[in-house]
């Protein structure tokens, strides 16, 4: 069949998605689409970039030019570089949450953001009730894509109503199918030794969601009416199911067939078959059955294949089946209802004329779905995307004045964090870059490390869960069941040096635990964090440190983002926030807009806590006080030359006294970054984004000595800035302060880029 597009301006297309010989539906689809376009448009070069879920990869064909590693976010950045320098005109991506790394497949966003060419994304899953991560990821993928391809009208409706995608951006293109003749089922039955029998067929990678047990349960009634019936189940068990569960599901189906007395009527073909074999199996089927258990399926390659081959189809009413089998092209039966299924199979076998009329309607409908026509439709979508982007300047190449464009953030380097961490937790201090065993560990630092590991997880770093588990275990060990407090200091021999730690270490632990509960998807971590949070929260009310209250309030804010209806936690928040507000009001004057008579350490955490409490309670007086005090602190910590100068720890700053210029500590820069980013999120005032950047640049050398406190060779951070030199020790507090600041800025930038892309 000749293409309607005789030639194309698109010379080189890259297909991102799983690829054969990997055994999954996305791999089959990507391979078939790539080959169909290469066949229909011989002047266009098609290359593929598959995602590997195993370290060894797969024996890919020559069309595969670059392999991504599912859980390695750096491979996604490298893939973007590869595409940008290899004259690729168009990227066609297959999106499915489960094939990309990160939360809800978020790693792929890192790749899409860096691409310079148009992107057309095919959506294989569109959820009606996504969780927040799934919704955010799909919205960002949609925003970064020039066009979106869906395979059904319902998919288009979901995109518009749930994900707020404009209809002009959506192309409805059916799932492609092989071009096969309309043949009598008896023609190929001898290939499988079932000549003279009535063949019922299901195929696809086997997993518990496929509902095969429903058909087996229906077989006794079917066999009673048609004794020569056989049910053929074609397909290997899904590789991920094999990895985690083995063949438990297949064995349960075999036992069920024996229990029902139909073991001689059920045939398992336990192999991932080629397209040629699959076509032969389909052609031999009298009735094809898809007994899936869940309605939330927006497409199905197996249903598309059999519909296009002109088969009589019985299916459960998942979304795609409802649409494809309407107008008499198939029959729907309720989920898990083997009696209704048996009745419909018998009805179709009893009424041959009706069955063949259904087959013909299905076959004629499928003519528009053959791969040659689908390839044409995709090329039309590619051409539209290219045309619409013709005058578009990619974000990375937009000329911006310096006040509109932030400098690049340093690359993430975790070498020193790994170096400081052993099987117990993170060491407190280092001599230069060498862990100092004599000072052991602290809960304070392990809480910081836990928080950093959760931020790493949000960015999809594959080390994050292992690190988080180790630091959370330390907090669990630090908990003293007698005092309901965390101990803080532990020596290298793992002996606790106290029964009750500092107020600040208690508050900082609550901050970390709240962050786990809001952002981690690891249920084991959340279970332990929830227990610790509940056990230790009441004790914060007995503390006297305003900074401990502030740390705890940030953790409570994180917790309530996920569990907003928890009245007891809200009451603790209201009490602590009220205390901070009273402190501010009692110490306030025109020249001293602060909570105490002295500025000491982690100063910005106090306004940070009031700002978020004012937002969440809501309480305008708290928000105003938080922003006012943060503004005063920002002005106070700005040098005449414009750079960030934190209050020094060598004397701090008492009201009416002199500000200590040195020693400047990394935790002050981190506290300022965190507070200013929160102020920016709440007010959308870009001034706060600039303040956060200024504080972060202190790490990089924009400071009094013009020396980089951050060490790019180790990924660590020096312990401070003296009046004449750096403190060359790289302990955990300083290194974690730097990492927390970097990660929070990266997450903020990602959020801003998403909002900018979404608004276009």
| pLDDT tens-digit series, residues 384-405 | 999 887 544 344 333 333 344 4
Q: Which of 334, 366, 398 is the last residue of a domain?
A: 366
Residues 249, 379: one domain?
Answer: no
Residues 357, 379: one domain?
Answer: no
In a domain, 283, yes or no: yes
Number of domains in the chain: 3
The predicted model gives 346-372 an average pLDDT of 94
In a domain, 745, yes or no: yes
149: pLDDT strictly greater than 90: yes
In a domain, 700, yes or no: yes
Identify the H or E element spanning 481. none
Whole-angstrom Cα distance, residue 547 to residue 551? 6
CB 95, CB 127: distance < 8 Å: no
Mean pLDDT of the chain: 91
In Å, the largest CA–CA distance within the chain is: 101
SS3 435: strand
Residues 383, 242: one domain?
Answer: no
CB 607, CB 614: distance < 8 Å: no
CB 182, CB 176: distance < 8 Å: no
Kindly report the CATH number assigned to the domain that includes residue 201. Answer: 3.40.50.2000
Question: Which structural domain range is residue 68 located in?
Answer: 12-176+372-388
Per-residue pLDDT tens over the stretch 257-271: 999 999 999 999 887
In a domain, 641, yes or no: yes
Residues 96, 142: one domain?
Answer: yes
Whole-angstrom Cα distance, residue 474 to residue 610? 29
Task: Give the residue, 16 or 302, on which the prediction is more confident.
Answer: 16
Beta bridge partners of 150: 172
Residues 325, 384: one domain?
Answer: no
The predicted model gives 417-427 an average pLDDT of 97
487: pLDDT strictly greater than 50: yes
SS3 681: helix
Q: pLDDT category, 558, cuts 50, 70, 90?
A: very high
Q: What pLDDT is attached to residue 239?
A: 74
Residues 237, 354: one domain?
Answer: yes
Q: pLDDT category, 577, cuts 50, 70, 90?
A: very high
Q: What pLDDT is attached to residue 391?
A: 40
The predicted model gives 17-44 an average pLDDT of 93
Task: Give the residue, 242 or 21, on which the prediction is more confident.
Answer: 21
CB 219, CB 265: distance < 8 Å: yes
In a domain, 431, yes or no: no
Residues 152, 192: one domain?
Answer: no
């Amino acid at each position: 069949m000749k293409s309607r597009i005789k030639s194309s301006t698109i010379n080189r297309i890259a297909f991102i998605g799983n690829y054969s010989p990997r055994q999954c539906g996305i791999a089959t689809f990507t391979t078939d689409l790539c080959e169909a376009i290469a066949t229909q448009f011989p002047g266009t070069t098609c290359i593929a970039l598959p995602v590997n879920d195993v370290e060894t990869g797969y024996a890919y064909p020559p069309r595969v030019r670059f392999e991504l590693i599912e859980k390695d976010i750096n491979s996604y950045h490298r893939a973007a570089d590869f595409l940008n320098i290899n004259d690729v005109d168009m990227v066609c991506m297959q999106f499915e949450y489960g094939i990309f790394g990160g939360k809800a497949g978020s790693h792929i966003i890192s790749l899409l953001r860096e691409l310079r060419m148009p992107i057309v994304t095919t959506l294989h899953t569109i959820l009606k009730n996504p969780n927040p991560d799934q919704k955010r990821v799909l919205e960002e993928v949609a925003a970064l894509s020039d066009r979106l391809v869906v395979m059904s009208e319902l998919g288009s409706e979901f995109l518009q109503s749930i994900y707020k995608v404009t209809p002009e951006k959506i192309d409805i293109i059916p799932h492609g199918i092989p071009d096969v003749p309309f043949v009598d089922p008896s023609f190929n039955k001898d290939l499988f030794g079932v000549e003279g029998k009535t063949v019922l067929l299901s195929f696809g990678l086997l997993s518990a969601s496929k509902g095969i047990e429903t058909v087996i349960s229906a077989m006794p009634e079917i066999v009673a009416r048609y004794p020569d019936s056989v049910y053929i189940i074609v397909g290997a068990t899904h590789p991920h199911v094999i990895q985690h569960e083995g063949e438990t599901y297949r064995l349960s189906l075999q036992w069920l067939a024996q229990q029902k007395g139909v073991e001689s009527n059920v045939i398992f073909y336990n192999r991932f078959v080629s397209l040629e074999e699959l076509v032969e199996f389909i052609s031999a089927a009298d009735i094809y059955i898809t007994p899936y258990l869940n309605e939330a399926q927006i497409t199905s390659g197996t249903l598309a294949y059999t519909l296009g081959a002109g088969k009589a189809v019985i299916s459960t009413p998942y979304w795609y089946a409802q649409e494809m089998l309407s107008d008499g092209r198939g029959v729907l039966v309720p989920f898990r209802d083997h009696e209704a299924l048996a009745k419909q199979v018998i009805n179709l076998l009893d009424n041959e004329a009706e069955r063949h009329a259904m087959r013909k309607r299905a076959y004629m409908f499928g003519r528009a779905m053959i791969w040659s026509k689908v390839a044409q439709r995709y090329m039309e979508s590619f051409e539209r995307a290219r045309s619409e982007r013709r005058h578009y300047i990619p974000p990375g190449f937009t000329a911006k004045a310096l006040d509109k464009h932030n400098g690049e953030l340093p690359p993430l380097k975790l070498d020193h964090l790994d170096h400081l961490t052993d099987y117990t937790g993170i060491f407190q201090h280092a001599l230069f870059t060498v862990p100092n065993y004599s000072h052991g560990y602290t809960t304070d630092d392990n809480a910081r490390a836990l928080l950093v590991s959760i931020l790493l997880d949000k960015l999809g770093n594959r080390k994050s869960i292992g690190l988080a588990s180790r630091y959370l275990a330390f907090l669990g060990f630090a908990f003293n069941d007698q005092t309901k407090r965390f101990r803080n200091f532990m020596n290298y021999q793992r002996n606790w040096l106290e029964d009750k730690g500092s107020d600040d270490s208690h508050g900082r632990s609550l901050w970390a635990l709240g962050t786990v509960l809001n952002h981690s998807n690891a249920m084991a971590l959340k279970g332990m964090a929830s227990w610790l949070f509940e056990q230790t929260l009441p004790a914060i009310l007995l503390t006297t440190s305003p900074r401990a209250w502030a740390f705890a309030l940030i953790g409570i804010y994180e917790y309530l983002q996920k569990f907003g209806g928890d009245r007891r936690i809200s009451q603790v928040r209201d009490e602590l926030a009220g205390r901070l507000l009273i402190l501010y009001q009692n110490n306030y004057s025109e020249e001293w807009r602060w909570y105490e008579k002295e500025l000491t350490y982690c100063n910005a955490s106090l306004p940070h806590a009031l700002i978020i409490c004012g937002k969440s309670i809501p309480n305008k007086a708290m928000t105003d006080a938080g922003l006012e005090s943060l503004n005063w602190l920002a002005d106070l910590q700005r040098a005449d030359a414009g750079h960030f100068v934190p209050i020094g720890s060598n004397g701090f700053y008492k009201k009416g006294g002199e500000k200590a210029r040195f020693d400047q500590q990394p935790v002050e820069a981190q506290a300022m970054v965190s507070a200013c980013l929160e102020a920016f999120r709440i007010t959308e005032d870009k001034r706060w984004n600039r303040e956060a950047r200024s504080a972060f640049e202190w790490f990089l050398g924009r400071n009094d000595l013009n020396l980089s406190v951050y060490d790019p060779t180790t990924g660590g951070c020096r312990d401070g800035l003296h009046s004449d030199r750096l403190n060359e020790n790289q302990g955990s507090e300083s290194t974690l302060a730097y990492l927390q600041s970097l990660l929070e800025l990266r997450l903020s930038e990602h959020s801003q880029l998403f909002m900018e892309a979404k608004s276009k």
